[in-house]
Structure 1
Amino acid sequence: MIRGSLVALITPMNPDGTVDFDSLDALVDFHLAAGTHGIVAVGTTGESATLPVDEHLAVVTRVVDRAAGRLKVVAGNGANSTAEAIELTQAMSHLKLDAFLNVTPYYNKPSQKGLIAHFEAIAQSSEIPQILYNVPGRTAVDLLPETVAELAKNPKIQGIKEATGSIERLRQIKALVPEDFSLLSGDDATSFEFLKAGGHGVISVTANLTPEKSAKICDLTAQGQYDEAKAIDDGIQVLHKDLFVESNPVPVKWALYRMQKIPFCIFRLPLTMPEPNSQKVIEQALLETGLIND
């Protein structure tokens, strides 16, 4: 089972727009040292939408090699074309991955029947387990609990990243799926409540900045130490909020640059640098949480 704190890792880039593999190695090392339980490579936060297949594969391969089995590695493999998602999945299936993270197909707004057919086809294309990813705020399609339950019957579909932020949605899904089906929060602001309500982990943007705290929250809630976990989470709620002052991953990438964890703050178009007012908001959050000094 995939559980604990999984960081939705950014993809660092050079001024010429190429992937900065040296900084990628350093970020993996940062998470290894901090006790992060797993890395999600080239998901939304990793700018999957603008990395072509060869770069996507290169980044995931580098993360797998650097992690060297010391933590779990999950690779984004979603697309709004089933054929494209299968092609991407098969291109990475030789790697030592723990799972794929498969986002609901965006823009074309399929029916629940179409979603089942989409995910079933992708699951059959690889022996590596699939984690569903429901984020209707980005994709304009909602993977309903009954649909998740149907997909959970497939032994290759072993969990879901649920990013609606609804604890009631978690309860609905939990009541319908097997006990060993991984329930992962995709909403940092509500992730503690998600864990307390029986979730198994979180795929976190905030964990890019606070890996030790994010892992500790997961560890404590798994042990039933909710007060201690909530105290830590309360201390980083400002990050949960302000890292979304603009579209992810713009704020978190700028924050890592401001923390000197990456040497450049470069995005693939159409993403651009955060606006000056947003930079001030993010910087204040970093100051409040002690991640920068001035």
Structure 2
Amino acid sequence: MTDSDALFGANLVAMVTPMRPDGTISEPGLAALVDHLLATGCDGIVVGGTTGESPTLTDAETARLVSAVAAQSENQARVIAGVGTYDTAASVRRAREAEAAGADALLLVCPYYSRPTQAGVVAHCVAVADATELPVMLYDIPARAGIAMTASTLIELAGHPRIRAVKDAKGDLFEAMSVMSQTSLAYYCGIDELNLPYLACGATGVLSVVGNIVADRNAELIRAVRVGDLDTAQAIQRSLIPLVDAVMRTSPGATMAKAALAELGIIPHATVRLPLLEAPAQHVAQLRDALAMLRVPAS
């Protein structure tokens, strides 16, 4: 086990937020999903991230989710709370609420929409990291944030004692290797399509949407890379291509992960909140075919 495994886990899942047909949070669905994630080898559960529909969750809902997941996981998995927004004061408040609710770590997305300077990104991240005693994982996702965390920004932020990791959804493998070579930041792949390349380049683990469905396969992939069994790792990644394609390249990942979990009987409903819509029939059909190819058993 690495130091980063102890802080965040290695096989992390960006957990969806189960909802009833009326859009309220489904507590039975949440409990069943957490049981499923723990049973399939997830050792880090991200609560209230983008896949959890963070833009449409209230602060109170996010804190309640963190508290419920922390209580149920009983230290079997690290609970990482998504607290980032485009408002530094709001992000600081969410970080403190997450700490009080029992989170083990924080996930801090690059401030989006406002398009701050890199100096502003640094100041934002430092303010949130200074707000609690929890370790922080930065989330670099320029496709959603509108800007990237540059290599120099990541290197500067690595000097903060509580900023310990990066969820990289940028896809620049050379930059990732460069930052890893110059810092002690642990990297987690945030692009399911590239889990194997990131792990092979030195990433500690994955932070996966598809892991909602097949965290056990991701665990096998991580183990194979760590022991140097590239043939097995390649076989696992190839077997996951149809599912990754169905979940990540059709409707939004949160929508498709919920559809898959509902298909498998793990959560009762595939409800999402607007502006997301439930998956159309053709996307669900592709998803069913992918699940059948993997022979994922229903709950």
Please give the TM-score of this superposition, normalised by the length of structure 1: 0.95
CA contact (8 A) 1:145 1:173 kept: yes
Structure-2 separation of matches of 1:135 and 1:231: 28
Q: Which residue of 2 aligns with 1:201?
A: 205
Structure-2 separation of matches of 1:283 and 1:53: 34
Amino acid at match of 1:145: A
Among candidates 36, 49, 70, match of residue 55 of structure 2: 49
CA contact (8 A) 2:66 2:102 kept: no
TM-fit CA distance, 1:264: 0.9
CA contact (8 A) 2:166 2:187 kept: yes
The yes-or-no answer on 1:285 pairing with 2:290 is yes
CA contact (8 A) 2:15 2:45 kept: yes
- Tell me the SS of whatever aligns to 2:80: strand
TM-fit CA distance, 1:232: 1.1
C-alpha distance 98-219 of structure 1, shift in aligned 2 (>3 A)? farther
Among candidates 267, 270, 275, match of residue 272 of structure 2: 267
Q: Which residue of 2 aligns with 1:39?
A: 45
Amino acid at match of 1:89: A
The yes-or-no answer on 1:188 pairing with 2:218 is no
Amino acid at match of 1:42: G
Deviations 1:117-166, CA, capped at 9 Å, x for gaps: 00001111111111000111111110111110000000010110001223
| Mapping for residues 143-222 of structure 1, pairs under 5 Å | 143-178=149-184, 181-222=185-226
TM-fit CA distance, 1:3: 4.2
| Mapping for residues 101-116 of structure 1, pairs under 5 Å | 101-116=107-122
- Tell me the SS of whatever aligns to 2:161: coil
TM-fit CA distance, 1:116: 0.3
TM-fit CA distance, 1:93: 1.4
The yes-or-no answer on 1:28 pairing with 2:34 is yes
CA contact (8 A) 1:3 1:202 kept: no
Structure 1 stretches (4+) deviating beyond 3 angstroms? none
TM-fit CA distance, 1:53: 0.3
Q: Which residue of 2 aligns with 1:80?
A: 86
- Tell me the SS of whatever aligns to 1:170: helix
Count the aligned residue pairs.
291
Structure-1 separation of matches of 2:187 and 2:277: 33
CA contact (8 A) 2:66 2:81 kept: yes
Structure-2 separation of matches of 1:91 and 1:208: 25
Amino acid at match of 2:251: E
Structure-1 separation of matches of 2:111 and 2:294: 36
- Tell me the SS of whatever aligns to 2:224: helix
| Mapping for residues 13-24 of structure 1, pairs under 5 Å | 13-24=19-30
Task: Give the unaligned 5+ runs of structure 1.
Answer: none
TM-fit CA distance, 1:279: 1.9
Please identify, of 226-235 and 128-137, the stretch whose mean Cα deviation from structure 2 is larger: 226-235
Please identify, of 168-177 and 185-194, the stretch whose mean Cα deviation from structure 2 is larger: 168-177
Structure-2 separation of matches of 1:131 and 1:216: 23
Deviations 1:38-83, CA, capped at 9 Å, x for gaps: 1111111111110000001101110000001111111101101001
| Mapping for residues 123-162 of structure 1, pairs under 5 Å | 123-162=129-168
Task: Give the unaligned 5+ runs of structure 2.
Answer: none
Structure-1 separation of matches of 2:289 and 2:42: 25
Please identify, of 140-149 and 28-37, the stretch whose mean Cα deviation from structure 2 is larger: 28-37
CA contact (8 A) 1:37 1:215 kept: no
Please give the TM-score of this superposition, normalised by the length of structure 2: 0.94
Structure-2 separation of matches of 1:251 and 1:99: 26
